[in-house]
Structures are given as structure tokens and as C-alpha cells.
Amino acid sequence: MLRAPSALLRRITPLVLPLLPAAAAPSPDDPHLWLEEVQGERALAWVRERNAHSLGELEAAAEFAPLRDRLLAILDSRARIPYVSRRGDHFYNFWQDAAHPRGLWRRTTLAEYRKPEPAWETVLDLDALGRAEGENWVWKGSNWLEPDLDRCLISLSRGGADAVVVREFDPGAKAFVADGFRLPEAKTQVAWRDRDHLYVGTDFGPGSLTDSGYARQSRLWRRGTPLTAATLVFEGQATDVSASVYTTVEPGFRREFARRGTTFFTTEHFLGRNGKFERLDLPADARLGTWREHLLLTLRKEWTAGGRTLPAGALLALPWTRFLAGDRDFAVLFAPGPREALAGYSATRGHILINTLANVRSRILVAKPRPDGGWDRTPLAGADFGHATASAESDDSDAFWLQADDFLTPPSLFRGEIGGGAPELLRQLPAFFAAEPLTFSQHEAVSADGTRIPYFQVARKDLAADGRNPTLLYGYGGFQISQTPNHRAGMGAAWLEQGGVYVLANLRGGGEFGPAWHQAALKANRQKAYDDFIAVAEDLVRRKITSPRHLGIQGGSNGGLLVGAVMVQRPDLFRAVVCQVPLLDMRRYHRLLAGASWMAEYGNPDEPADWAHLARYSPYHNVRAGVTYPRMLLTTSTRDDRVHPGHARKMAARLLEQGHPALYYENLEGGHGGAADNRQLARMQALAYTFLLRELR
């Protein structure tokens, strides 16, 4: 999905999308289209010039070097929690620090992991691999052959882009498999069918990709044959978002599925049976899961089935055998109440861990099937935290991981067994900033249509309500992504310790209160998310926490669109804007990279009715000469092959040609996360915080 960082330039979850295509056909009314030529000589010369100007100002500031060094020390600290994933008897971790900027993929045992300083065994050194191959490899994950776990597919990106090369790896030998599976650089979707076959969706040539740049076809590739000989097994349409085939392997159960993503939020699901894929009778906007003998379903809208209406946001379960026989009497494992939402679930051997939000605070339930076909649901013991997430360690035990934190409490990692008493504390992040003088609280603003919009505020306990406090307001408001009160060590060190106030807004368009909260700000209703953000800003001024002179806003990706839109709508309300890897040109977004896949969120600019509402807030089209705007810092990455860097480039060019104050910085690596390693990330964060401190104090 199009996802934003929840703190200044945190890494963003990658999405399989296409490699940078050529820019779409020019529009005669856009004089800056040449900036969409990502690697164009003229465009890159412009980037270098703007970078030099911005770095010349910000890196020369007294605040910059101390902030950069402190942020890098946090990012590289050996005291960070090494989060792990269990594969067989080993626990794997990917680790980056000063000595290993691109990272080590390593493993240990549970007995070692319990120690303060575990003994780690290096499985793959990305820095050494990059040097040997002359590449700037960035880790993009592993895909394991189950249940054997003696082979995996490793994805590597050049410079942090979403496009990857895929190579077969032997974790026992700690080496790539000679003559093993290899896929060239592309936005590939791949799944093991068995040891000698892969389901592959990639760029097979003309007609193999959707308009959004995802794989349209899935082909079965047999070991030892050329990729061109792979057999077509499933295909979607060009107008779809994507199509793919995947497998699920659980103890005692193996299934094959195909899915056709007709829009960003709707999917046709197919089950492999009797040598073909049969379409399942499910709501198009429901999310499908499977756990042993059970089908699991998450609803985005109400669904009438089995003689009753099941609520939007519910988590449902039904044995596969009954479902395939026509039964629709689903068990309701979770049904949201007012201002409640499902945040996710995870399955152990005998239980399902259900993460929920109640007024944006975490609640965790444990569901267990009974012999009579019913389910028991109880709170997870030992999980009484303001913000916590539980996840299964594996599907062959009832062990689980529990991470708990909040704005001021560093993350703690626990390991427990369901029914086994209080979880065991294994790791706790040290305090990277002084939290004792601080407090956080939850408030509500009233939006333009009367809707109550919650927000969190982090500030000094002795904060004076005099309207003079430098305040950073962050928002996202899209794609049903929730903003929760998790710990932000870099923000605490670089902003809170400097006397700043941090505010996190829970806007419509997000998922904090379930699907309806998201759907309230779709397409023609997008303005509601912007009204919500403006309402929070106005509430901060009303409460005299800050004033427009001291109020800054920040957002990335869809959040970059948010801050761009409210800047042009209410330039009087803000002093500074940090706009990262943003969408800004809503006339052409659907023609750039993965933009077509987001039309279910924003609308289709080629449809006059949709363009009518997009035109009202598209930042690039609403900048006006003669208006006094807050100063804006735009950042992006040349290697962002998800949200086209042309958005940020063109916005900066338009602001500058009209004489508005703007800074622009483009990292040559980094993908949609903006940075490829900790040093780049610390620099990007320090640029943003330096800008904010200088503008808002």
C-alpha cells in the first residue's frame, strides 16, 4: 500500500510495484513535465542544484551536525532490540549498524537470544556481497520453502528501490544455490509451489503487467528451465491492480490460492482445487485468511450471509469444509463497538491472537475454537499496556511475542506461552531521550462537519499555555492505516528534548475506528481528512499550545499530499511544512508508477466528476502567486519507484518560480523510505529537524 513514515522519515513498508517506466505523454499546460524524467540529464542537473542550495543552508546550521550525530548514534546503537523471526530451530534477525551499514542477516538460538549479549551466526553479509559484486544492495526480505525450511528466496534491491532481484539461497550452507532459481530485477511476486517449482509474477514482456505496474500474470516455473518457458496458470486484466498465485503451508494443511486485485480494496479470491482455480463466494472487499481447517475473513463493509448481517470491521471464522459445502454460518471472533477497530491478527498452533484498538489504545484478545464449534475469547494475560502488539512466534507452538511501548516508554519485547503465565521480558530499549519531564495526553478536535477527531499530544509537564511553543503536527489520513502512540526515539531526542511539542492526529481516512473511518474520506470526501487536520491545528491554537507562528506540519507519502493540500488551503495557519516522498500532482498521479492502483482511494482524474474534486485540493494545481505560504521542505528519492519523485520536483519548481520560500532535497538512493542505510536516514532526519527548529522557535 501507499504508506507513510509515522515519524520523520522512518522506513516505509515496501510494496511490489514496477520499475520506473517512462513518463506519460506530456500535457501542454504543465511546463515542468521534464522533471518527471527521473534519470534525465537536465532533471538531475536541476536536482543537484537544488540539493546544493538546501544542504548549503541546513547543513551549515549550528543545529545540524549535533542532531545528525545523535540520530545516527540512536540508529546504530547496539542496544536496539534485535527483532527475530523463527525458522525451525533458529531465530533470524537483520541488523544494521556503523560497521555494517547495509546489514547482516544473522541467526541464533532461543537459549542464546535470552542472554543479554547473544552469540550470532552471520548467514549473509550484505556489505561484503555488495563489495564483491560492485552493487549497492539493500535487503528486501526472504521467502522460505515450507515446511522443509532448507531453501529460501532472497530479494535484494539496488539502492533501496522496490524493484528487486531474487536469488535462491541455502541457509544451511549460508550460500546462494549454484544454478538455483534467479529472477532479474523487476517488481516480482513469487511463491514456492514445491522444491522444484515457483509461482512467478514479473515483467514477462508486453501484456504481463497491469496499468498499475503490478504483475498481471502468474506463471509456474520449473527448476532447470528458462523463465521464458514458465507456464501461464492465472491471469488478470490490464485494468486490475494485480494478479498473483500463492500457497499457504501450515502443520497438516497446504492450500493454493489465486487472487485478482480488481482495485486497491477489492479482490476476487480463488482456491486451487481439482487442477484449477475456483472462484470463492466472498465479498469483493473482504480480506481472506486461512488457519488450519478454518477460513478467516475480515469485513470492510456489512455482509448479509447465513441469514444475518455481519458488521463491517468484524473478524469471522468458518471451517473450510463447511464453507465449500455452502454453509455461511460464520463465527464472529471480533465485532467492533463504537470507536473500536481490528488492528490485525496472528495465529499460533491452537489460538488466534487478535489485536484491536479502543479509542486508539491497544487491546489484545485470544480466541480458541471449542469442540462444539464455538469459540472462546479472553484478554491476553500480561498485556495491559497503552500500546502493544502480539504476534505468533510460529504456527507449530503457542509461543508469542509481545511488544509494548508508548510515546515516552521505550519498547519492551516479551515472549510468552498462551496459558503459560506472565510473558518473559527479553529485551528493553534504553531511554535515548529524557522522558521524565514529559507527558502525553489525548484530546479531541471538532472537524468542520462536527465529527470528533482524536489526537495525541506529547509535551513538557510544565508546558505554558502561552501560544509560543514550537509544535510539530503529524498526520496521514489514508488507506485505513492507523496512527498509534508508539515510541519515537529519534523524534524525542531531536524534537522533544529541544523543547518542542509533538502532536499525532487520528484523521478520517485512517483505520483507527475501522473501515467506516477510512471510507468517510474516500474520493469525493477526501476533503474531510484535510478538514480534520485543520481542525486539530486550530484546536492547538485555541488551547494556546501554539500559534501559527510556531506551528509546523509534517507528512510523508499520502501524508505528503495531506500537508501539501492544507498548506495551500490554510497558509495562514502554519509556519513550516515538511513534505516527504509525496503525491502532489493529482492530475497525473495515476499515470506515474503505481498511481493507477490508488484510484480507489482518490478517484480517476480522467473522469470529469472525479477531477472536479481532485482539482479543488491538488497541491500542485492550487499554488498561487502573491499568496504568503509557510516555508516548505520537500524531500524525496531518485530511487523511489513507488511514488514518482516528479511530484516533489515539480512542486518545488512551481513554488520557486512564483517566489515562494521552499527547500528541496533528493537522496539518490533510498526508495520510498527515502534512505538506504542509517547514515542516509540520520542525514535526512537531521535536515528535517534542523529546518523545523530554525523555523518554529
pLDDT at position 353: 98
Which triple of cell numbers denotes residue 201? 509474477
| 21 band by pLDDT with thresholds 50, 70 and 90 | very low
> What tens digit of pLDDT does each residue of 216-229 get?
999 999 999 999 99
Final residue of a structural domain among 429, 447, 466? 429
For residues 516 and 421, membership in a common domain is answered with no
Final residue of a structural domain among 429, 455, 475? 429
Choose the catalytic residue: 6, 244, 557, 637. Answer: 557
**Which residue type occupies 178?**
A
Q: Give Cβ neighbours of residue 400 (< 8 Å, ≥ 6 apart).
A: 346, 348, 353, 390, 391, 392, 393, 415, 416, 417, 418, 423
For 479-498, give one letter per residue: b (16+ CB within 10 A) or e: bbbbbbbbbbbbbbbbbbbb
For residues 578 and 662, membership in a common domain is answered with yes
Q: How far apart are CA 162 and CA 153, in angstroms?
A: 16
pLDDT at position 13: 27
Task: Reply yes or no on whether the pLDDT at 20 is more than 70.
Answer: no
> What tens digit of pLDDT does each residue of 127-151 get?
999 999 999 999 999 999 999 999 9
C-alpha dist (Å) from residue 66 to 71, 179, 598, 617, 684: 8, 49, 39, 38, 13
For residues 684 and 584, membership in a common domain is answered with yes
Which triple of cell numbers denotes residue 596? 493507477
For residues 352 and 368, membership in a common domain is answered with yes
pLDDT at position 386: 73
The CATH number of whichever domain residue 615 belongs to comes to 3.40.50.1820
Task: Reply yes or no on whether the pLDDT at 307 is more than 50.
Answer: yes
> What tens digit of pLDDT does each residue of 512-568 get?
999 999 999 999 999 999 999 999 999 999 999 999 999 999 999 999 999 999 999
Specify the DSSP element, H or E, that contains 276.
strand 276-279
Please indicate, yes or no, if residue 179 is contained in any of the structural domains: no
For residues 352 and 465, membership in a common domain is answered with no
> What tens digit of pLDDT does each residue of 316-326 get?
999 999 999 99
Please indicate, yes or no, if residue 619 is contained in any of the structural domains: yes
pLDDT at position 186: 93
What whole-number percentage of the chain has pLDDT above 90?
91
Angle between helical axes of 646-657 and 41-58 (0-180°, round to 10): 70
Task: Reply yes or no on whether the pLDDT at 295 is more than 80.
Answer: yes
For residues 382 and 515, membership in a common domain is answered with no
> What tens digit of pLDDT does each residue of 234-271 get?
999 999 999 999 999 999 999 999 999 999 999 999 99
Please indicate, yes or no, if residue 485 is contained in any of the structural domains: yes
Task: Reply yes or no on whether the pLDDT at 6 is more than 50.
Answer: no
Q: How far apart are CA 643 and CA 259, in angstroms?
A: 24
Task: Reply yes or no on whether the pLDDT at 12 is more than 80.
Answer: no
For residues 517 and 622, membership in a common domain is answered with yes
Please indicate, yes or no, if residue 613 is contained in any of the structural domains: yes
| Peptide bond between residue 66 and the one before it cis (omega within 30 degrees of 0) | no
Q: What is the largest CA-CA distance in the chain?
A: 72
Cβ distance 696 to 500 under 8 Å?
A: yes
Task: Reply yes or no on whether the pLDDT at 391 is more than 50.
Answer: yes
Final residue of a structural domain among 392, 409, 429? 429
Active site residue 590: no
| 385 band by pLDDT with thresholds 50, 70 and 90 | confident
Domain count, the chain: 2
pLDDT at position 29: 81
For residues 394 and 504, membership in a common domain is answered with no
Please indicate, yes or no, if residue 54 is contained in any of the structural domains: yes
> What tens digit of pLDDT does each residue of 148-184 get?
999 999 999 998 888 899 999 999 999 999 999 999 9
Please indicate, yes or no, if residue 408 is contained in any of the structural domains: yes
pLDDT at position 74: 97
Please indicate, yes or no, if residue 1 is contained in any of the structural domains: no
Active site residue 557: yes
Please indicate, yes or no, if residue 163 is contained in any of the structural domains: no
For residues 420 and 456, membership in a common domain is answered with no
- Residue found under cell 537459549: 111
For residues 491 and 564, membership in a common domain is answered with yes
Which domain covers residue 449, as residue numbers?
40-73+432-696
> What tens digit of pLDDT does each residue of 580-590 get?
999 999 999 99
pTM: 0.93
Provide the Cα torsion 64, 65, 70, 72; round to 10°: 100
pLDDT at position 10: 33
| 19 band by pLDDT with thresholds 50, 70 and 90 | very low
For residues 522 and 653, membership in a common domain is answered with yes
| 24 band by pLDDT with thresholds 50, 70 and 90 | very low
| 15 band by pLDDT with thresholds 50, 70 and 90 | very low
Q: Is the dihedral of CA 297, 162, 158, 554 positive or negative?
A: negative
Tell me which of 385-394, 401-410, 561-570, 599-608 is least confident: 385-394
pLDDT at position 673: 83
| 27 band by pLDDT with thresholds 50, 70 and 90 | low
For residues 463 and 350, membership in a common domain is answered with no
